[in-house]
Amino acid sequence: MCQFEEENIRENLLNQCYLCAIMNNYEFQDWGLIDYHEAWTKQLTLFDMAVSAKLKSNKVQNTLVFCEHPHVITIGKSGDRSNLLFDAERLREKGVSFYEIDRGGDVTYHGPGQIVGYPIFDLDQFGLGLKQYIHQLEEAIICLLALYGVKGERLDSATGVWLDVGTPLARKICAIGVRSSRYITMHGFALNINTDLSYFSLIHPCGFVDKGVTSLQQELGKVVDMDEVKSQMRDILEKIFMK
């Protein structure tokens, strides 16, 4: 049982006034399959609007975005380019875009069959610091995986959600990389559902050379309904952050 489920058992009643106040400043958007640069531009617009509102002491609109991207590799501001195993020209030949971006974390891959979540949240509204926020994102993924009988775990000193931690079979199923300014967040998580894992061979995912990657499809041995997972993921995130 994930932490969130345990807390629900202990706390049956939510603070309804606080919940309504937050929900009045919350919007969900599904951008579908969208080019990474286009999504990055749209996300920056939402982020800049949120930061501007906060600087003017106005209420910030919290927005949760889901999408998928065509094949793309991104590297964070502190990433090590040696973890990129092919140069940009070779990547283009393989139909893979490449971007250096302003999130935390190292190099990662996005592609079809992967749910990418971009929460543009004002953490002050939720009473969270950045580390707590990332912990809550991880908790949401762990709860989602539990619905499918898959045990997700955290790995010390590394963000994201993993399987079989502490064994030679340790593998990552969800990457997390976040940027924040004035406690407004952007970027977020990438959860492998029906992802073509062969594309991860183009990189050392998140800088790890001794750990693998996996997907929900690989763990279950069957294709998973993306719309169903999106609905479940949205519900879990709203219950964790909007409680």
Q: Would you please indicate which residues are annotated as catalytic (active-site) residues?
A: 206
User: In this structure, what token pair is assigned to residue 65?
Assistant: 């975005």
Of 66, 177, 181, the C-alpha closest to 123 is: 181
User: In this structure, what token pair is assigned to residue 48?
Assistant: 């800049």
Judging by beta carbons within 10 Å of its beta carbon (0-12, 13-18, 19+), is residue 193 exposed, middle or buried?
buried
**Helix 226-241 vs helix 3-10: angle between axes, to the nearest 10 degrees?**
50
Q: By three-state DSSP, how is residue 98 classified?
A: strand
Q: Are strands 184-192 and 158-163 parallel, antiparallel or unpaired?
A: unpaired
CB 120 within 8 A of CB 62: yes
Judging by beta carbons within 10 Å of its beta carbon (0-12, 13-18, 19+), is residue 26 exposed, middle or buried?
middle
